[in-house]
Amino acid sequence: MTADSGDAPTVLSELREKAGTRLDPVHRDFFEGGADAEIALAENERAFRRLALLPRILRGSGPADTAVTLLGDRAALPVFVSPTAFQRLAHPDGELATARATAAAGTVLITSMASTTAVAEVTAAARAVRADAAVWFQLYLQPSPEVTDALVRRAERAGCGALVVTADSPVFGHRARDDRNGFHDLPAGFAAENMRDLPGAPQGGTLDIAMSPGLSWDDLRRLRAATRLPIVLKGVLHPDDARRAADEGVAALLVSNHGGRQLDAAPATVEALPAVVAAVGDRLPVLLDGGVRSGSDVVIALALGATAVGVGRPVLWGLAAEGEAGVARVLEQLRAEVAHVLTLCGARDSGDLTRDQVVVRGLGVAEC
Ligand SMILES: Cc1cc2nc3c(=O)[nH]c(=O)nc-3n(C[C@H](O)[C@H](O)[C@H](O)COP(=O)(O)O)c2cc1C
Ligand SMILES: CCCCCCC(=O)C(=O)O
């Protein structure tokens, strides 16, 4: 036994291991991998481990309440599902399994534009479980406004409650594992289903997802004018961009480095969070994803001012290991851990947490 390792197995790490035995190694690399030297990927997790929670005592807080409200949607836990592409490569039920498990857990699903199941099927699967299940649509703004508009109409018709615009991908990140494996396209029998029958797509086929360094705030403004759906901006790390986004009328921000898959020199998201919260936390909800692997990670982010946090890979581990039941296990484990950690911190809910409760390990109790 190594009392000081901090690497004792957890439900999530066991699901990760099981997923590793079930996945095609090429697809496992796609799901697990990051950009370049995978520094940002590793740092997202490590940065949480460098932080500690200072509990408060004797507050009579009673049982924890993990529920939060996200853009008017009630989430039973302050953890949502971040968008991840190509889920049918993880499990035959793919996005449908994730949608059912997320709806059953009572939280928000952000479904990827690059999903292997059409968004209307994803929302239908979620709503079959819970009539008011919240599904938001992740969107890469396309260089062609007609294509973007068609995707937006598709998400609106499917009943999505928000558009999550990913802004950290002016170009696709360099993924060394995928390069080594020659993995650059979906295998035969799978398609990015939301890209079917769009303007310019081949008859009955799909359009490639484009990433464009030409996109600007003008494109975001154009999108806002073209939809009534609230817009969440994903991939915000700089406080000035956070202020600009708030000025542009964005409904929420998602502090994210794309799970370390885009700019490898990007900071760990929990390290970027405090400056973004300081810049705009009094104006709009600030969300975070990247490296969240435990209830303690969630509570640290909440104490630093996040309204809720997203998980990407943990959901893929659950999905690949055990399908819908595995995703359900991941979300239930995180809910239970958040409740437990809140209670241990003397907090009934996230509103009871304060920033001074997060300290840097090894520096005494100086605030981070
Ligand atoms: C396999 C994989 C696919 C992803 N696909 C998308 C995507 O289609 N759109 C997007 O905005 N982000 C995508 N992301 C990034 C996630 O939304 C999220 O930011 C990231 O996974 C969070 O980090 P975590 O995996 O450490 O929880 C993807 C991440 C992974 C691992
Ligand atoms: C050009 C293909 C787009 C797939 C996007 C998936 C994604 O965001 C990822 O990180 O992978």
| Domain locations along the chain | 11-359
**From CA 133, how far away is CA 249, in angstroms rounded?**
25
Q: Class for domain 11-359, per CATH?
A: alpha beta
The answer to whether the beta carbons of residues 283 and 250 sit under 8 Å apart is: no
Residue 145 Cα, ligand 2 centroid: separation in angstroms? 20
What is residue 79's predicted lDDT score, i.e. its pLDDT?
A: 98
Say whether the ipTM exceeds 0.90: yes
- Ligand 1 site, residue 262, Cβ cutoff 6 A: no
Q: What is the pLDDT of residue 6?
A: 81
pLDDT of residue 10: 97
Task: Provide the CA 257 distance to its chain's centre, in angstroms.
Answer: 10
Angle between helix axes 295-303 and 39-49 (nearest 10 degrees) is 80
Residue 2 C-alpha to ligand 1 middle, in angstroms?
32
What pLDDT is stored for residue 2 in this prediction? 44
Q: List active site positions.
A: 258
pLDDT at 363: 84
Name the residue type at position 23: L
Instruction: Choose the residue to mutate in 172, 208, 211, 258 for probing ligand 2, maximizing ligand atoms within 8 Å of C-beta.
Output: 172
Q: Would you state the pLDDT for residue 249?
A: 98
Q: Percentage helix, strand, coil, to 5, in the chain?
A: 45, 15, 45
Q: What was the pLDDT predicted at 280?
A: 98
Q: Where are the beta strands (DSSP E) in the chain?
A: 51-53, 68-70, 73-75, 79-81, 109-111, 135-139, 163-166, 231-236, 252-255, 286-289, 308-311, 358-360
Which two three-digit tokens encode residue 290? 């990247």
The pLDDT value recorded for residue 1 is 39
Kindly report the length of the chain. Answer: 368
Tens digit of pLDDT per residue, the chain (368 long)?
344 568 899 999 999 999 999 999 999 999 999 999 999 999 999 999 999 999 999 999 999 999 999 999 999 999 999 999 999 999 999 999 999 999 999 999 999 999 999 999 999 999 999 999 999 999 999 999 999 999 999 999 999 999 999 999 999 999 999 999 999 999 999 999 999 999 999 998 999 999 999 999 999 999 999 999 999 999 999 999 999 999 999 999 999 999 999 999 999 999 999 999 999 999 999 999 999 999 999 999 999 999 999 999 999 999 999 999 999 999 999 999 999 999 999 999 999 999 999 999 998 765 55
Q: Hey, whose CA ends up nearest to atom 1 of ligand 2?
A: 209
Task: Decide if 112 contacts 140 (C-beta within 8 A).
Answer: no
CA distance 276 to 279: 5
